[in-house]
Chain A
Amino acid sequence: MSDEHRCVELTRSRHRIGQWLLLSFVLIWFFILILTPLIGIIKETFSQGIEAVKNSLTTPASMHAFWLTLVITASAVVLNTLFGTILAVVLARQNFKGKLFLESLLDLPFAVSPIVAGFMFILLFGPRGWIGNWFSSLNIKIIYAFPGMLIATLFVTLPFVAREVLPVLREFGPEQEETASTLGASQWQTFWRVTLPSIKWGMAYGVTLTIARSIGEFGAVLVVSGSIINKTQTATLRIHDQFTDFNYAGAFSAALLLAAFSFFLLNIIQCIYKKKGSAST
């Protein structure tokens, strides 16, 4: 009896040691990969004092870069929320040939490297590209200008809203919408009163992901923008630029600002995730 008891105790303590080891491993890994870089950024940022941080963040070039990031992000969010929702509704509610192909195409921006995407757009919209050629005859510049950067950002953030809304729409099925129509609601009324309230948390989640990605996008935007100071330089491009110029204080303070914002977004995402979960049960 006591032997058996001891055996149980032993297994339990072994189990406890196992759990402890696992936890320590996770914590150490987390520390090395996430916390140390963050501490590094903070330390480096404030190494030349708070005044230097303030100065580097408020130079016209930095201000312009932040402003540009803001404008591109806002535009991408509006356009991709609209387009992503329409796309999700079409994919969830309509049957047509090539639907599966279209749906797999939706994931392309996830699979293609942003740099490759950027070059793709240069080929297409550049002064010698077949669409760019036509635009330049109208005196509209796309590559190395705002439209190109927006297109690149739209491309890399395309799937977020659509991918979040699509499963929600599929899960809640067409029956509520059909009921609304038998009760006399037009398609528009049905969308606003029935569909939208059901997908809003999915949309919100997709929007937050879109914001995070738009702000952080580097590769595709770098290729199509040319990173011209005060013209086509976004916040991430500005960080890169300052870093290669050995302006570490400037680079790190901007980086810290972006990291702080991302952290804030992360919290919002967590909140939405909880809401989304409770809304679907």
Chain B
Amino acid sequence: MSGIRVESVTKKFGDFVAVDDVSFAVEEGELVALLGPSGSGKSTILRIVAGLETQDHGHVYLTGEDVTSLSPQKRKIGFVFQHYALFKHMTVEKNIAFGLEIRKKNKTQIKKKIAELIDLVKLNGYEKHYPSQLSGGQRQRVALARALAPEPKVLLLDEPFGSLDAKVRKNLAKWIRQLHDRIRVTSIFVTHDQSEAMEIADKIIVVNRGRVEQIGNASEVYEHPKSKFVASFVGNVNVINGRTYVSHIAIEGTEGRISQKTEDVPEDQDIVLLVRPEEVVIEETASKDSSIPAVIEEIHYRGSFYEVDLRIGANDIKSFVQKERYKSNPWTVGEHVFVLFTQFKVFEASEGHQAIHRMLKQLGYIE
């Protein structure tokens, strides 16, 4: 039996299709990430699962039960907002007790549950504090405890770490994963941060323009992206313009070619090659495999690796080079080298190309 099942859900706001025929399932006890850029419809999908938004078509099932026509009150869910949405006029204790008091649990039960949850979210000593006296991370933990108090069947988190600073965010994300391993409540969290999704989710649902692009675990989504969008959104990626020929792929603005046919795209087509920076290997001399001439433009030390910026014809690309490899034979800026791509994906340079370029720029992957 699945924990959450969403079946061909569609939602329009006026003429804008926010969610377009979305279907997916979350197994019981799974922690799943809904990953996508802002405006991709991921939050709307979560709100539809919660019943906070009503879909135009489709069905939502929670633990096998069709809840499509149920109000949020009756769905037995826990919901956590990005900005915590704590009840400002209530103490930590009262916030956590809210769902229990509404359900008319008796006082001793409520007390016991509060103590248990305070322990779980490590807020001992803060019971009588008001939200305004807590830090962002603490507030988010109160929101989580409050959502968990009535023992929901599923937990829904809308950008739960979105308004925290980087360090707190990382810690809290890790902690949520540990917490989930302990309590095993079926959960979906919405995020636009692919590293966050890959780090803590059992499964990632990549969403773009209201549609599900791919569902899979982190390595599937990263290594075998099913679409141009997934490839470019999940992880760092180089975008290289080229063209397919009968027996090779030419790269724009250079004599360099990849002596390899691609089955994905027919010949005589303008294409984009997507290559992850760690799949770009730099060689000093041309070989059978690496015949693409490149010029080293910049070299940055990135802690655990080196980032080498290269120019191939009209394309700027990045290569992530292992520290040991770099140190054994460092290059200099301006040096002429050859590159080979150990792995790459080819997509047709259709209308989507421009959009991807824009998005990559926004995300700061390319200048």
Contact = CB atoms under 8 A, between A and B. Distances in A.
Interface of A: 172-173, 175-176, 178-186, 189, 193-194, 197-198, 281
Nearest to A194: B87
Contacts of A173: 85
A155 B116 CA distance: 54
A243 to B, nearest CB: 48
A190 B201 CA distance: 33
A182 B72 CA distance: 5
Given A178-B72, A198-B89, A184 B81 contact: no
B146 A183 contact: yes
26 contacts: A175-B83, A175-B85, A176-B85, A176-B86, A178-B52, A178-B72, A178-B79, A178-B81, A179-B79, A179-B143, A181-B71, A182-B51, A182-B78, A182-B147, A183-B98, A183-B99, A183-B146, A183-B147, A184-B103, A185-B73, A185-B98, A186-B73, A193-B87, A197-B89, A198-B88, A198-B89
Interface secondary structure of A, over-half rule = helix
A179 B73 contact: no
A181 B98 CA distance: 11
Interface string B78-111: 1101010111110000000011001100000000
A185 B73 CA distance: 6
Interface of B: 50-52, 71-75, 77-79, 81, 83, 85-89, 98-99, 102-103, 132, 143, 146-147, 149-150
B87 A184 contact: no
A182 B102 contact: no
Contacts of B89: 197-198
A181 B150 CA distance: 13
Given A178-B52, A178-B72, A189-B102, A184 B88 contact: no
A169 to B, nearest CB: 14
Nearest to A176: B85
Nearest to A179: B85
Nearest to B73: A184
B98 A176 contact: no
Contacts of A181: 52, 71-73
Most buried by B among A172, A182, A186: A182
Given A175-B81, A176-B87, A197-B89, A182 B98 contact: no
A209 B317 CA distance: 65
A140 B302 CA distance: 85
A178 B47 CA distance: 10
Contacts of A179: 79, 81, 85, 87, 143, 146
Contacts of B147: 182-183
